[in-house]
Structure 1
């Protein structure tokens, strides 16, 4: 096998697994026969990372499981206070940065600080003890109070769709899939300079058309649809991330190879391949028209897709949080230090567990009712 980017032979020394749908979005389809280790690294830094940053919002909010690492935290702003807050991929919300404030009052200095974890507490306490020798680091740590609360009101985020580097990364995804399906390299060779960024081509655009596939309210998936039509002399690929970021890629407008019709669909919620039919089959005129008369303001359609995916993420976040509440309540009531393994569960123990769970469940229910109203 040869790297289709640089033509180097792929060997035991230079092979790498190329994710056809990037790992950052939870993609699992991959191959070691596409590009060499060096090209994989180069494109990962130059274009794949930018695509990953755009897709990370949904990977985070949907709590997507990746093959390597976790989704990155995302930062938003509370609309009421403009305060920055950080959303972790497990649903936890913390301040984006620690806070420290000193105010003078008569002959006293009032110190207020807020940290996000024990490591930051120790670091800030040590710094504070050095600055004020009369304070002891241990006393500062012992005086700290752990608080949990729910965030009310709206949070705003900045999201981007597309852009030159993202279009190139999406094109690479489509080419990867074509090569994965054993397509002849000669049909995608003219795209290499575009993927590298040394030549501009008008071959990738956002694509929000009706009825491309069936989508249920509880579904969220990635989709690749590759079509090679020698009669129409076109080779194209549809790439869809999270049913929200959707692109059409014209891979070749002089295609005379084998007939191709291949659809790959990956359920990101359950990490499994599913069967979905891509219902459109574009002729040459229709396909070329997508790039001549571009839909340059697909904002309403993007918003509809976004709402679908966010409704799913909110359900998953809610279910995950309820699971955490129950687990913490049971641990508080039945921790190993209190009841060793083998203890027979009594009615009193059940009542104790219910009480512990409801202590945490009540604020959550009140928060849900408040935001619903």
Structure 2
């Protein structure tokens, strides 16, 4: 195999693991046979980092599995408070909040350590403050917020270049000729300003997905009848783009697809080909993102994520409550479940359910 940029033979000494789908968004598809390590370093990581950052709110809420680390926290806003959302949707204050009047002060923090630090600062001008007494009398509470605002965007040249690189890599993974993609390399490197890359939002789904499926999809299509060679990309079901490799294609028909479910971390096989009608392709591809249509699709995605998160939370509540019951009533001493144990379990489950779902987020 040869590096598609410099043309050198790829060996064990110069090979590099190139992710076809970014690992930062849960991609597991990669190749060591399409680009050498020196050329890969010339592309830089800026375009991939930009795409990963734009999709991080989705990666965060789904707690995407990555080879290294976890998705970064995302910053949100709840009423007049800045908050941090941790992977999986757990929330904490972005920083401590202090409210003072003439006779009292109120501290709101996520941890006791933060509260202690704020109290130490206050004690400098208020030596009468007993830090340990204040911490002892502090009110600890846990609640689920009604609605959190998170800013999110998708698009821009850096993102388009990253998507183009993804398409190019998938074409080469399927034994496409490096000669066919040479005209796209300057664009990916930022040396040219445009390429045949389009947003694609038809009025109906391109293919059916189960309610529990959130997929990354790559589809390579060669249609000599219409002289089109392109890659269709869907990220998290709703970030959809078409990348044309050749609009004067005269080779053999080509079809290759890859679908990865980021919820179950499994490759999904489709028995039938995913077909995009030529007229529909012409009608719904666009250089500009239709913000209205995209907003509707994004709300549907968040609703699907919410449903998946709820299912996960129900499983967590049930599992943890059973574990608490077994800790309180060891099996060796309580081989048979009693009414007392049942009441304990029901009480734990009901309290967590109320706490988790009394303010269900509506989209």
Q: TM-score range by the shorter chain?
A: 0.7 to 0.9
CA contact (8 A) 2:212 2:263 kept: no
| Partner residue in 2 for 1:278 | 274
When the two chains are superposed, the root-mean-square deviation of aligned CA atoms in Å is 3.0
Deviations 1:92-117 (A, max 9, x none): 122232223444x1xx5x33222223
1:263 aligns with 2:253: no
CA-CA distance at 1:195 after TM superposition:
0.3
Deviations 1:170-222 (A, max 9, x none): 00000010111111101101111100111112311101124532234443211
1:343 aligns with 2:333: yes
1:299 aligns with 2:306: no
| Partner residue in 2 for 1:250 | 244
CA-CA distance at 1:86 after TM superposition:
2.6
Equivalences, count: 357
CA-CA distance at 1:135 after TM superposition:
4.2
- SS of the aligned residue for 2:359 comes to helix
* Residues 125-140 of structure 1 aligned to structure 2 (within 5 Å): 125-128=119-122, 134-135=128-129, 138-140=132-134
* Residues 311-330 of structure 1 aligned to structure 2 (within 5 Å): 311-330=303-322
Gaps of 5+ in 1: none
- SS of the aligned residue for 1:188 comes to helix
Residue 139 to residue 13, structure 1, CA distance change in 2 (3 Å): farther
Distance 2:231 2:46 in 1: 22
Deviations 1:64-90 (A, max 9, x none): 333332222223323xx3433332222
Distance 2:7 2:100 in 1: 62
- SS of the aligned residue for 1:312 comes to helix
CA contact (8 A) 1:162 1:206 kept: no
CA-CA distance at 1:241 after TM superposition:
0.7
| Partner residue in 2 for 1:176 | 169
1:85 aligns with 2:78: no
Distance 2:161 2:287 in 1: 19
- SS of the aligned residue for 1:315 comes to helix
CA contact (8 A) 2:227 2:248 kept: yes
Residue 319 to residue 119, structure 1, CA distance change in 2 (3 Å): farther
Which TM-score applies when normalising by structure 2? Answer: 0.85
CA contact (8 A) 1:34 1:179 kept: yes
Residue 312 to residue 139, structure 1, CA distance change in 2 (3 Å): same
Residue 33 to residue 136, structure 1, CA distance change in 2 (3 Å): farther
Distance 1:12 1:263 in 2: 28
Gaps of 5+ in 2: none
Which TM-score applies when normalising by structure 1? Answer: 0.83
* Residues 1-373 of structure 1 aligned to structure 2 (within 5 Å): 1-7=1-7, 9-40=9-40, 43=43, 45-78=45-78, 81-103=79-101, 105=102, 108=103, 110-128=104-122, 134-135=128-129, 138-152=132-146, 154-209=147-202, 210-230=204-224, 232-276=226-270, 277-280=273-276, 282=278, 294=286, 296=288, 298-335=290-327, 338-340=328-330, 342-345=332-335, 346-347=337-338, 348-368=340-360
Residue 344 to residue 139, structure 1, CA distance change in 2 (3 Å): same
